[in-house]
Amino acid sequence: MSQGLTQTQQRTHSRFRWRPADIALGAALGVGCGLVFWGFNFAYMPISSVLGSILPGIASVLHAVWYFCGTLALLILRKPGAAVYVNVVGSAVEMLLGNNFAFTFVFISAILQGLFAELPFAVTRYRVFNLPMAVLSGLCTALEYGFYLLFFRYQGVALFSPRGIVHIISELVGGALIAGVFSWFLFVAIAKTGALDHFASGRAIRADAASQ
């Protein structure tokens, strides 16, 4: 009994332990996401202005471009803290390149988004990685970011006002589709190239593809 328990604990510890390869891949992923964040800063303003003129609040559907990498990091690395790590690295890159947002807003957002992206995976003790889990992760992040914006950026917008309701619904739709569905299929596409064969996530996808 005790020997079996020890072996289980060892496997769990090994699964949770960060290797140098995990740290390096997470850093590379964070840099890539930081470039996406930075580029999207320029695209968001004109696009959101057009969408906002059609229906105030609907532009929030695009916000997930700023937080999809947390879910993507968890799908690829499968380690506790992966979303927070990659988000923070990405935000650091974005700040170094320059943006219009305050330092504290960017980094607090990055940490909170990472923590909420981790929630569904943490509940399963980082054992389940599939499309539904990715969507749940995206929804959790969207819910957090939607309310974070209402409290700290959109103070003049009431939650139950038409704009507030559209904002939250749009945030959730974006979280599910961009942070959830898009992240899952991007991860699968990367894994199928063989780029992740040294990682458990990549081997799992390749094994599934081979068995079909």
pLDDT in tens, 144-186: 999 999 988 888 888 899 999 999 999 999 999 999 999 999 9
Residue 27's Cβ-count burial label (10 Å; 0-12, 13-18, 19+) is middle
Compute the CA torsion angle 78, 94, 172, 50 (nearest 10 deg): -150
Q: Which amino acid is at 110?
A: A
pLDDT (0 to 100) of residue 154: 86
Q: What is the mean pLDDT of residues 184-203?
A: 93
pLDDT (0 to 100) of residue 15: 75
- Cβ atoms of 76 and 190 closer than 8 Å: yes
Radius of gyration, alpha carbons of the chain: 18
Pairwise CA distance, residues 138 & 120, whole Å: 10
DSSP 94-124: HHHH--SS-HHHHHHHHHHHHHHHHHHHHHT
CB atoms within 10 A of CB 160: 7
pLDDT (0 to 100) of residue 212: 65
Residue 54 has pLDDT above 70, yes or no: yes
Pairwise CA distance, residues 30 & 20, whole Å: 15
When mean pLDDT is compared across 12-16, 124-128, 169-173, the lowest value belongs to 12-16
pLDDT (0 to 100) of residue 158: 87
pLDDT (0 to 100) of residue 127: 94
Greater model confidence, 44 or 9: 44
Pairwise CA distance, residues 178 & 163, whole Å: 21
pLDDT (0 to 100) of residue 7: 55
The 8 Å CB, 24+ separation contacts for 44-50 are none
User: Which residues 6+ apart lie within 8 Å of 148 measured at CB?
Assistant: 109, 112
pLDDT (0 to 100) of residue 162: 93
> For 64-116, what is each residue's pLDDT tens digit?
999 999 999 999 999 999 999 999 999 999 999 887 777 788 888 999 999 99
Pairwise CA distance, residues 59 & 81, whole Å: 29
Greater model confidence, 199 or 7: 199
Pairwise CA distance, residues 46 & 101, whole Å: 16
User: Which residues 6+ apart lie within 8 Å of 76 measured at CB?
Assistant: 25, 29, 82, 187, 190, 196, 199, 201, 202
Percent of the chain with pLDDT over 90: 71
Pairwise CA distance, residues 133 & 71, whole Å: 9
pTM, rounded to two decimals? 0.90
Pairwise CA distance, residues 81 & 30, whole Å: 13
pLDDT (0 to 100) of residue 82: 97
pLDDT (0 to 100) of residue 102: 77
